[in-house]
Chains A and B, each alone.
Chain A
Amino acid sequence: MEVSDYPKSADANVNRICGKCGSRIFADAPQGFCGLCLFKTGLGPLGEDDESLGSSPVAMPTDFDDYELLKEIGRGGQGVVYRARQKSLNRTVALKVIGGGHWDREAHLRRFRLEAEAAASLNHPFIVPIHEIRERDGCCYFSMNLIEGGQLDEAVKRQVISIRRAVELIAKLARTVHYAHENGILHRDIKPGNVLLDKEGEPHLTDFGLARLVETEGSVTRTTEMLGTPSYMAPEQANGNAEVTAAADIYGLGAVLYQLLTGAPPFVGRSTYETVRLLLETDPRQPRLLNPKVDRDLSTICLKCLEKDPQRRYLSALALVEDLERWLRHEPIQARRTGFVTRGSKWLRRKPAIAVSVASLVALIAVLAIVIWNGELFRQPPSNAAVVSERSIAVLPFLNLSDDKANAYFADGIQDEILSRLSKIAELKVISRTSTEKYKSNSEWRIFSKAKSRRQATRFESPSSLSMLPPTPTCGPRPMIGK
């Protein structure tokens, strides 16, 4: 007997949306808190190993099989990275260990192993190499080369890099990513924090935390769990689309380029939820609006990587490399700027409700205008007696008689400017430009206009002089005044 004399509706009782996880918070939430977030917070570790306090030299184990842990140098979604000394070979390495106390232990471990396997199979000078993958007490860890220069985002904070240097870095990274794609591996989490710079300033891609063998796609990460970093994440990743392809990495490269050019990622919200909403619903601002030093071509390249539709991005990371290198050589790029019509249609697709509203409003205004117009006519019916003699004016085309043909637009511009000024005079009817266009080729007017324009050349040297024009025509080759 499940009946409902319950009067409430689901949405009516929503107090607010959680800024952290995006879930709805109802009026019965404990002390107004998001219950989901409270439970997730409760899942954290119980000991002193707490992420909020950063590294703790007291709590950190120092001995780890063949490794002596020296210092915690990084902490991310997949685990903790230590600077460590490999005792048997007496060398310093980076050791990545899966974080303890994670609730999704089995899935986490499985993903971690995949991560290590994927990275270990790659052999490229700009991919941080994996030395060995091992397990201990049910945990997984691997050792890799230690890159001393630090993460790209930290390096950029320390020292501003030039636009050219930024493009060179992204071109190298894109070529590296292309190599990984050729080997069937996606990175899926390209961000400045996963780019390490060595002492020579060369970029190295690390943390294939979300990489997976393309062949095993779906076996581990095809869940509703959203992976990746929202600010650099492709829209298809953010909305949980299982069909994540190499285009997601191209998006990531574009997002890092955007960060380097403008100082901020394409989308930054006050919360993860808001960032994802911006990512899915809005277009990034043009980089050149945020940094005027960025030229139109580079802006176009960057925005092509950040297209919402994966198919509109570069077809491959190599294609991106080639366009970046064209830009570096000052050659024309292949990418084309998105046109007004395309942008408009994309906007229509994303915001159909608003588009319909705007269209309805325009239609309403049009109907109102017609009604009002008809009303005016009704109140003042035209009659022969009431017709006031109407003064009309035509401004004939100006001709470019100079030797420089590039100045032709200036002649048209003068005619347009005069017409628009005259049209503001209520008592004057202005003959449209199309009606006078036929006189442009008339030889008689040409001769007349040549002599006339020489005499009056000084009157139209600048647009400001046009404001001095009297209501009656004194301009143009041969103004026509009639009734």
Chain B
Amino acid sequence: MALWNGVSVSAQNGAVAFTTTQWSVVLDAQGESPSAEEALEKLCRAYWWPLYGFVRRQGYSPEEAQDLTQGFFAMLLERRDLDAVRREKGRLRSYLLASLKNFLAKARRRAMTIKRGEGRPLVPLEELLVRERADLEPADTLSADRIYERRWALTVLEQVLERLGEEYQVAGNGALFEQLKQMLTNDRPSQAKIAQEFGMKENAVKQAFHRLRQRYRLLLREEIAQTVAVPSDVEDELRHFISVLQT
């Protein structure tokens, strides 16, 4: 059993045993506790990119989209109204999208003033601009919803790879990780080549990659588990992401 950020996830026969996630903390407390607020803020900080992409696809300029995204987070953290979650099958991904659509509709209809993040933007402006320049995706063929779903899937992977890399860095195996991670998606570089480069036996490389892949799979499920309310949704989310990226 591994413990990560208050999340308890273990692997037994391919299933993820599921106790507490940041999202379930939020749901259980209905946002009425400091820990729930902190958990929601962490989640928003991690998954702002899909939301920002959705707003941009609505036709807003980068500046307007930044204001709207930050304003949405401020509203979300202040309002703590999570009733809609049940209607969205208890998934953070669906809940945030529904909430954002509602927020944007109201913003347009009433021409309301966007409430800024009280001088403390959730996402730094520099980061937004960097990502804006890097928004190189098939945007002209995707609807706003698809952009949101696609970016969400990619963000999950980014979070996982980042965490995995940090773990290997801490253990002093950063260079080995850089080589082994290539094998997650293809057969190159070969195990023999890595073995030669790091002075390892080929079987040791095979074992190391096996451990890395197991850890990757576990972290992926953990990351997804952070955003769903019930354990059975983890596999569904995985399948959903595959279908999103396949189309």
B102 near A: Cβ within 8 Å?
no
Partner of A36, one of B139, B160, B245: B245
Contact code string B192-225 (vs A, CB < 8 Å = 1, else 0)? 0000000000000011011001101110110000
A340 near B: Cβ within 8 Å?
no
* Cα-based distance from A226 to B214 in the complex (angstroms): 27
Q: Are A38 and B210 in contact (CB under 8 A)?
A: no
B172 near A: Cβ within 8 Å?
no
Q: Are A38 and B137 in contact (CB under 8 A)?
A: no
Residues of chain A with a CB closer than 8 A to B209's CB: 52
Partner of A37, one of B143, B144, B184, B218: B184
* Cα-based distance from A68 to B116 in the complex (angstroms): 68
Q: Are A37 and B14 in contact (CB under 8 A)?
A: no
Residues of chain A with a CB closer than 8 A to B139's CB: 4, 6, 8, 10
Residues of chain A with a CB closer than 8 A to B210's CB: 50, 52-53
A448 near B: Cβ within 8 Å?
no
Which stretch in B39-47, B57-65, B81-89 binds the other chain? Answer: B57-65
Residues of chain A with a CB closer than 8 A to B175's CB: none
Residues of chain A with a CB closer than 8 A to B214's CB: 46, 50
Residues of chain B with a CB closer than 8 A to A24's CB: 138
B141 near A: Cβ within 8 Å?
yes
B113 near A: Cβ within 8 Å?
no
Q: Are B135 and A44 in contact (CB under 8 A)?
A: no
B239 near A: Cβ within 8 Å?
yes
Q: Are B185 and A34 in contact (CB under 8 A)?
A: yes
Q: Which residue of A has the minimal Cβ distance to B209?
A: A52
When A44-B217, A46-B221, A52-B210 are in contact, do A35 and B138 touch as well, CB less than 8 Å?
no
A373 near B: Cβ within 8 Å?
no
Q: State how many residues of chain A have any CB contact under 8 Å with chain B.
A: 43
Residues of chain B with a CB closer than 8 A to A35's CB: 153-154, 157, 241, 245
How far does the Cβ of B237 sit from chain A's closest Cβ, in whole Å?
10
Residues of chain B with a CB closer than 8 A to A43's CB: 238, 242
Q: Are A42 and B221 in contact (CB under 8 A)?
A: yes
Partner of A20, one of B11, B161, B185: B185
Q: Are B185 and A4 in contact (CB under 8 A)?
A: no
Q: Are A46 and B218 in contact (CB under 8 A)?
A: yes
Contact code string A418-460 (vs B, CB < 8 Å = 1, else 0)? 0000000000000000000000000000000000000000000
Q: Are B161 and A45 in contact (CB under 8 A)?
A: no
Q: Are B14 and A100 in contact (CB under 8 A)?
A: yes
When A36-B246, A40-B242, A103-B239 are in contact, do A4 and B141 touch as well, CB less than 8 Å?
no
How far does the Cβ of A3 sit from chain B's closest Cβ, in whole Å?
4
How far does the Cβ of B29 sit from chain A's closest Cβ, in whole Å?
30
Q: Are A46 and B135 in contact (CB under 8 A)?
A: no
Residues of chain B with a CB closer than 8 A to A3's CB: 58-59
B28 near A: Cβ within 8 Å?
no
Q: Are A44 and B213 in contact (CB under 8 A)?
A: yes
Contact code string B137-167 (vs A, CB < 8 Å = 1, else 0)? 1111101100000010110011011000000
Q: Are A26 and B136 in contact (CB under 8 A)?
A: yes
* Cα-based distance from A9 to B143 in the complex (angstroms): 13
Q: Are B246 and A23 in contact (CB under 8 A)?
A: yes
Highest count of chain B CB atoms <10 Å: which of A8, A9, A38, A52: A38
Q: Are B154 and A30 in contact (CB under 8 A)?
A: yes
Q: Are A6 and B57 in contact (CB under 8 A)?
A: yes
* Cα-based distance from A18 to B58 in the complex (angstroms): 30
When A2-B144, A46-B221 are in contact, do A20 and B186 touch as well, CB less than 8 Å?
yes
B134 near A: Cβ within 8 Å?
yes
Partner of A46, one of B14, B57, B185: B14
Q: Which residue of A has the minimal Cβ distance to B235?
A: A103
Partner of B143, one of A2, A23, A40: A2
Residues of chain B with a CB closer than 8 A to A53's CB: 206-207, 210
How far does the Cβ of B13 sit from chain A's closest Cβ, in whole Å?
6
* Cα-based distance from A26 to B14 in the complex (angstroms): 31
Residues of chain B with a CB closer than 8 A to A2's CB: 57-59, 143-144
Give 10 nearest A-B pairs by CB, closest first: A27-B136, A46-B11, A10-B138, A3-B59, A37-B185, A42-B220, A6-B139, A101-B14, A13-B136, A30-B157
User: B residues bordering A, Cβ < 8 Å?
Assistant: 11-16, 56-59, 61, 108, 134-141, 143-144, 151, 153-154, 157-158, 160-161, 181, 184-186, 206-207, 209-210, 213-214, 216-218, 220-221, 235, 238-239, 241-242, 245-246
Give 8 new A-B contacts, CB below 8 A, not counting A23-B246, A46-B14: A4-B140, A35-B157, A41-B216, A42-B221, A43-B242, A45-B14, A46-B221, A52-B209
User: A residues bordering B, Cβ < 8 Å?
Assistant: 1-6, 8-10, 13, 18-20, 23-24, 26-31, 33-47, 50, 52-53, 100-101, 103, 271
